[in-house]
Amino acid sequence: MPDKSLVTCFVSRCNGVAAALFATLFPSDCRLCGIPLTNISRLPVCAECLSTLHPIGGGLCSVCGERLISPYAFSSGDGVPLCGLCRRAEPPFLKAAAYGSYEGGLRELIHLLKYSGVRPAANVLGRMLAEAISHLEPVLGEDPVVVIPVPLHTTKLRQRGFNQSELIARAALKLLARRERYCLATTVLQRQRETQSQIGLSRHQRRENMRGAFAVKQADEIKDKPVLVVDDVFTTGTTAAECARVLRRAGASKVYVATVARTLKIEAQVVARPESEQEPAVLAANAS
């Protein structure tokens, strides 16, 4: 019987030779950092870059998931943390969750899928979406949930060849511990009007751009049921809000939102704390 250490050494050397041969015959660089890849993988991203993709940290708005800079951000009455926007106007969805911040490596990974057609990226992004969904599970209840990816217009779908939100959603649902309770529905919501890019538009312009863009075609599939809208990126929440608004009108009992990434505002979302509840040091600073 061969010595186990010799077998291990032989296998290790074979793997090394295979990796070197692959790098020679199929040279490729990491699409995020540019370092040459030596491991055989369908995803042209190195392990080091993937290890830098982390969840959003710090205090978050309990509704939209925006980062709260102020330690005194809260909702009057029940103490639930809310950003300024959610405090002023209640969104049509009950809660939104995202895995990470839409910047750096995560932004580039999403772009690899959307604009370069690197479909294996959907599996990595799906794991992140699954984590975001898991944060919503305590509020989703026990009823079956209809999962609806944000649809593309037929023109954009033909150009791209796939809906990135659907690919990511399919990968995510395979990883959920209770995946049997989730039903993926890709034909319920349709984008009936092609919209211009949201980049560079003001919040008001974004709302006008999305107004009337979506329609529910199979209302019976969501009637009196909770719905989870999934997408790759949550920017200002305009798209998610319009989808939620249309779905609620069509009979969905509740609407939640889960995305891989979200844009975090640079400026602090500050909600002033009543003077009666502020610390003396805070009051003194305000008085000065």
Q: Which tokens in the block code for residue 236?
A: 């200002």
Greater model confidence, 20 or 219:
219
* pLDDT for position 286: 33
CA distances 178 to 23, 81, 132, 142, Å, are: 40, 29, 14, 11
Name the band, by pLDDT with cuts 50, 70 and 90, for residue 121: very high
As a whole number, mean pLDDT of residues 3-25 equals: 54
* pLDDT for position 257: 98
Name the band, by pLDDT with cuts 50, 70 and 90, for residue 21: low
Name the band, by pLDDT with cuts 50, 70 and 90, for residue 241: very high
| Domain positions in the chain | 7-52, 60-262
* Residue 61: burial class (beta carbons within 10 Å; 0-12, 13-18, 19+): buried
Name 109's Cβ contacts closer than 8 Å, sequence gap at least 6.
32, 45, 53, 121, 124, 125
Q: Hey, what amino acid is at 178?
A: R
Fold of 60-262: Rossmann fold (3.40.50)
Q: Which tokens in the block code for residue 280?
A: 């003396």
Most confident residue range from 32-41, 105-114, 209-218, 277-286: 105-114
Strand 254-262 versus strand 226-234 pairing type: parallel
Name the band, by pLDDT with cuts 50, 70 and 90, for residue 8: low
* pLDDT for position 12: 58
* Residue 11 backbone dihedrals phi, psi, to 5 degrees: -65, -40
**3-class SS letters over the chain:** CCCHHHHHHHHHHHHHHHHHHHHHHCCCECCCCCCECCCCCCCCCCHHHHHCCCCCCCCECCCCCCECCCCCCCCCCCCCCCCHHHHHCCCCCCEEEEEEECCHHHHHHHHHHHHHCCCCHHHHHHHHHHHHHHHHHHHHCCCCEEEEECCCCHHHHHHHCCCHHHHHHHHHHCCCCCHHHEEECCCCEEECCCCCCCCCCCHHHHHHHHCCCEEECCHHHCCCCEEEEEEEEECCCHHHHHHHHHHHHCCCCEEEEEEEEECCCCCCCCCCCCHHHCCHHHHHHHHC
* pLDDT tens-digit map of 62-120: 999 998 876 555 655 567 888 888 888 899 999 999 999 999 999 999 999 999 999 99
